[in-house]
Chain A
Amino acid sequence: MKITIDRDRCCGAGQCVLAAPDVFDQDDEEGLVIVLQESPAPEQHQAVREAASVCPTATIEVTE
């Protein structure tokens, strides 16, 4: 699994961090997404798919 993000789209809702806290974080100021693991371990995959689907601005793209 590979995660790519279009950071300009991010609205800082932090939904991804709620869904997959080990894989995503936010910067302190604007709350924009930070990817902690670009190729997450298999046990994270379901959470990452969930994070991508709940992102309100379709910022997260997951390739499997």
Chain B
Amino acid sequence: MCKQNTELKVKDILNCYQGKEREIIPILQQIQEELGYLSEEAMLATARFVRVPESKIYATATFYAQFRFKPVGRNHVAVCRGTACHVRGAERILDILERQLGIKEGETSQDLEYTLEAVACIGCCALAPAITINNQEVHGQLTPKKVAELFPAAAKGGN
């Protein structure tokens, strides 16, 4: 995405708001949804728009787990670390995913194909251990075999 295009998009988003402080979180959410992450420029534009110091936007954004400051991979893999998943072996699933995708928790692969994150409970406890891909598809009752089937391209030794 070229820079000019990004700027336009952020501007379009800001135009939907009144510029009040209480709108900071919804604005940042919408920007992230559009761009995939919060760029420095986008946060600066938000700060100017709601007339608060840049540091305040950054302070708010970094407080919440939802916000990211780097581009995210095309496949955003989120491993649930809720209690039910924990007692049914979520740690092992994370281990296997780290090896399978060749990245550590919190990292994005160099080709921007995968981002791997551990997240708070996704509320699918009956399906534990579970992961979500791109916050849409939920895959539950995972076993090492099922994980391997989910990511055939990144299979063992593929990285």
| Binding partners A and B | no
Q: Which residues of A contact B (CB under 8 A)?
A: none
Chain B positions within 8 Å of A, measured between CB atoms, are none
